Structure 1
Amino acid sequence: MDTSNMSILLENSSVRGMNVSTSHFPAAIKPLNLFIACFVSVSFLVGTTVNGLFLWVLGVKMKRTINTLWFLHLILIHLISSSYMPFFVAYILLGSHWAFGKALCKVLNFSSSLGMFTTVFLLTIVSLDRYLLTCHPIWSQHNRTISRAQKLITGTWLVSFALSAPYLFFRETQETTEGKIQCVNNYALSNNWEAVEMQAFRNHIHLVFFVVRVLLAFVIPLFIIAGCYYSIGWKMKKKKLTRTGKPFKVLTAAVASFFICWFPYHLSQASLVFQASEQMVKFLQLMSIIGVCLNFCFTPVLYLFVGEKFQQVFKTSVLALLQKGFADASIIPEGNINPSEEVHHCVS
């Protein structure tokens, strides 16, 4: 794989060869593996329940607006990514043995990558949308339509699909000397991909895909989103606005959660590419597993609590809280919009 959820666990042997546990299969479940399996199981239950509820509210109970459209697809990605966690729980409990065949190995790996790319691209688009709403409200009023938003979302899915498609070819299953089946990346696309003469080529392809992934799924979106927030903050300071509404806080929580939760994953992949110590690799993989689960399964819970008093959350319906959080409104009050200043009042 190269992205998302527990696929990280499946990638241990794709760079360092097939040096897996020497214990006989089936192996006794180690305490750390049991903890990870329990954590992923809880993440699955929370993720499917919360994301499923939010998806129903956004899709059925709320009026369709551009903002609800963004988050409808974001929550859909979270739900899909949460739904296949039981496969990885089984993988862990079976002692790193993949029992579900090559086809599912490829599909889940592809889906994981698709989830990561689509999530970060959507968050970047939503941040740009919020920037335009705030800094160019007149332009947004005339050009911001649901049909254009739908086209952007369709384009996002297609681009993410294209970036994830190579992993349908790279992912393979391979039997180890211990009789286990591993689901790993065959970057050499060769039947003899463990041969010494293929190592340099395989590592080179792995490095290329790692750089592309970290740039497109982390670094570049981070700079774009940071620029949007800087411009919004500058505008708010200029207008002497010290308070922001719940929609902006929900977006901030979503963005912050993504980059905080996915940072250990990219560090983990870097540790594999650049041959870090075994202890460092294992630690970063554990952090990346926890981070990805938190992002897909627990972040949506923040949407209820952000911008609200803790006690008030339990006195308000989920529908009312989501309506406040996903309201399609500019951060700048309408009374503060001056059409003649629009081309000057934002930082480029």
Structure 2
Amino acid sequence: MEQSNTTLPSETWANSSQSPAPMGAPYMAAAMLLFATFLVGLVGNGLYLWVLVMKMKRTVTTIWFLHLVSCSVLFTLLIPFFTVYILLGFHWVFGTGMCKVLSACTHLGMFSSAFLLALISLDRYTFTCHPIWSRRYRTMSWAQKLVAGVWLCSFALSVPYLVFQETSELESSRITCVDYYDTSRDQDRAETQAWRQHTHVVLFLVRFLLGFLLPFCIIAGCYSQMGLKMMEKGLARSGKPFKVMVAAVVSFFFGWLPYHLYYGLTLFKDLSKSLMGICQLICIAMFCFNVCFTPILYLFVGQTFHQVLRTSLFTLVKTAFYEDLDSDGVGPDSSGRIR
């Protein structure tokens, strides 16, 4: 983490020049929000993961969502560390090694979730607009290879945070987990300060372009083409799986846009601390929404309230992920059973 997902980048509240040591009411509220997110996210994402692994037939779509939910589980498991960090007044007690590892894991989850959502959108685009090609090449083998490639690319992009994240001791004996470029001192040579600033800009651009802008353009382009194709042929939308994917995309967009905007603002040194503090809290709130409420979106999207009340939780979770009958043939049959 430099200073996010979930990511929950430690950077979001690690920058000692922007995070006051005394625990104010807003930061206490943020810590409580994180704790509540951990509880709800652990139960919700854990339930989805259990159903996908243990109770559902393996298909291309379930592979996509199995790994997407795994990203949410990864974020959820990181939350307690950052909650303790906030409650201790931004004093890092877990050591330099954990500072580096948690930062890398945060960005691993961020990149992999972005790439998976882009991959899901491309999959739906080919299935809708190029069905013959999709039926021929849309196989379990290719899906597994693509998912492996997503994780390998995400890991490679996360490695720099093992190097550039470190702990720094302040005059107040408080230890913070910060980015390499946030530890510069007045006595550093001009070349060193310039290198730190260059590192800051490069990491931000890579994170923003590859972790947000490129996936979002792919997602928006795929859905736009799908919509035009459906309007042209007078086709209905593909039903539940389509809505689930849209819910995941919306959650990703609003969950991560404030984070990237915040780190864009950190490139400017003269912004007020109060503005940066507000942006930090918005990042925390939107991250919590992303981790905590995405499972709820999966569960309730496309369902009316009375249908939800009349459907068992277990059946609802399973049907939230069924594939189109024309795609993999694992949707519910006329009796409502999962094939």
* TM-score, normalized by the shorter chain, greater than 0.5: yes
Structure 1 range deviating more: 122-131 or 289-298 = 289-298
Alignment pair present for 1:174 and 2:164:
no
Task: Give the CA deviation at 1:193.
Answer: 9.1
Conserved? CA contact 1:134–1:330, under 8 Å: no
Residue aligning to 2:256: 262
Alignment pair present for 1:305 and 2:300:
yes
TM alignment of 1:11-160, pairs within 5 A? 11-13=14-16, 18=17, 21=20, 27=22, 29-160=23-154
**Which of 304, 312, 317 does residue 317 from structure 1 map onto?**
312
Give the SS at the match of 1:212: helix
Task: Give the CA deviation at 1:72.
Answer: 0.5
Separation of aligned partners in 2, 1:41 and 1:6:
16
Task: Give the CA deviation at 1:191.
Answer: 9.3
Which residue type is aligned with residue 74 of structure 1? L
Separation of aligned partners in 1, 2:199 and 2:209:
16
Task: Give the CA deviation at 1:212.
Answer: 1.1
Task: Give the CA deviation at 1:7.
Answer: 1.6
Which residue type is aligned with residue 8 of structure 2? N
Task: Give the CA deviation at 1:301.
Answer: 1.0
Residue aligning to 2:203: 209
Separation of aligned partners in 2, 1:168 and 1:130:
35
Task: Give the CA deviation at 1:259.
Answer: 0.7
* Structure 1 residues 62 and 241: CA distance shift in structure 2, 3 A: same
Residue aligning to 1:7: 10
Structure 2, unaligned stretches of length 5 or more?
A: 330-339
Task: Give the CA deviation at 1:20.
Answer: 5.5
Which residue type is aligned with residue 111 of structure 1? C
Separation of aligned partners in 2, 1:289 and 1:130:
31
Separation of aligned partners in 2, 1:69 and 1:54:
13
Q: For this pair of structures, how many residues does the alignment match?
A: 323
Which residue type is aligned with residue 232 of structure 1? M
Conserved? CA contact 1:51–1:75, under 8 Å: yes
- RMSD over equivalenced CA pairs, Å: 2.1
* Structure 1 residues 56 and 285: CA distance shift in structure 2, 3 A: same
Conserved? CA contact 2:11–2:178, under 8 Å: no
Please report the TM-score for the alignment, with normalisation by the length of structure 1. 0.87
Structure 1, unaligned stretches of length 5 or more?
A: 335-348
Conserved? CA contact 1:82–1:296, under 8 Å: yes
Please report the TM-score for the alignment, with normalisation by the length of structure 2. 0.90
Which residue type is aligned with residue 241 of structure 1? L
Give the SS at the match of 2:144: helix
Residue by residue, what CA displacement relative to the aligned partner does 1:177-213 show, whole Å, maximum 9, x if unpaired?
Answer: 001001011149x997972522222111101110111
Q: Percent identity?
A: 48
Alignment pair present for 1:238 and 2:241:
no
Separation of aligned partners in 1, 2:69 and 2:163:
28
Structure 1 range deviating more: 41-50 or 290-299 = 290-299
Conserved? CA contact 1:61–1:319, under 8 Å: no
Task: Give the CA deviation at 1:293.
Answer: 1.7
Residue aligning to 2:332: none
Give the SS at the match of 2:291: helix
Give the SS at the match of 2:266: helix
Conserved? CA contact 2:18–2:276, under 8 Å: no
